[in-house]
Amino acid sequence: MEKQLLRLTVNGQEYELYINPKTLLVEAIRDHIGLTGTKRGCDTVSCGACTVLIDGMAVKSCSVLAMQAEGTEITTAEGLEKNGNLAPIQKAFIDHGAFQCGFCTSGMIMTAQAFLNENKNPTEWEIREGIEGNICRCTGYNSIVRAIDATAKGKYTEVKS
């Protein structure tokens, strides 16, 4: 299939790619742009490891063609930090040991970030529901839920640039 020009905006930077129109967004991000924080775990839209933000919404990037994301603002795990300072949710994951192998972590954090953008004062149950589309094989989820809860409660602040 003939390659096509695609312009993607990822973490505030515009990229011009010549790609097969059937390229998945996760492939464009990882293999063409080289941002490998976004993981590819299942390709069946089950695990959530590939989750990125598209215009602020958590989206499994294996479920979207890269072409469909043209004209949107995509944020990956690499884009959460500001001037070398981790985002509150990233600090919380570290402090709470909310990862073991780390394979799910980027996707989990992106889902958590989108969730917190919409839910300023969530209950534990709402947090668990909010991340139910993301699978972690290691942690048992409790540390992840505690990290999201601590972030919601304002225990980690954003460093102003």
Q: Which residues bind ligand FES (CB under 6 A)?
A: 40-43, 45-50, 60, 62, 99-105, 136-139
Q: Which is nearer to ligand FES, 104 or 150 (CB)?
A: 104
Residue 29, amino acid: I
> Least distance (Å) from ligand FES to the CB of residue 90?
14
- 81 Cβ contact partners less than 8 Å away, ≥ 6 residues apart: 87, 90
| Tokens 């947090």 sit on residue | 127
> 3-state class of 106 per DSSP?
helix
Q: Which is nearer to ligand FES, 45 or 94 (CB)?
A: 45
Q: Which of 148, 126, 144 is nearest to 135 (CA)?
A: 144
> Least distance (Å) from ligand FES to the CB of residue 126?
21
> Least distance (Å) from ligand FES to the CB of residue 109?
11
Q: Which is nearer to ligand FES, 65 or 138 (CB)?
A: 138
Whole-angstrom Cα Rg for the chain: 16
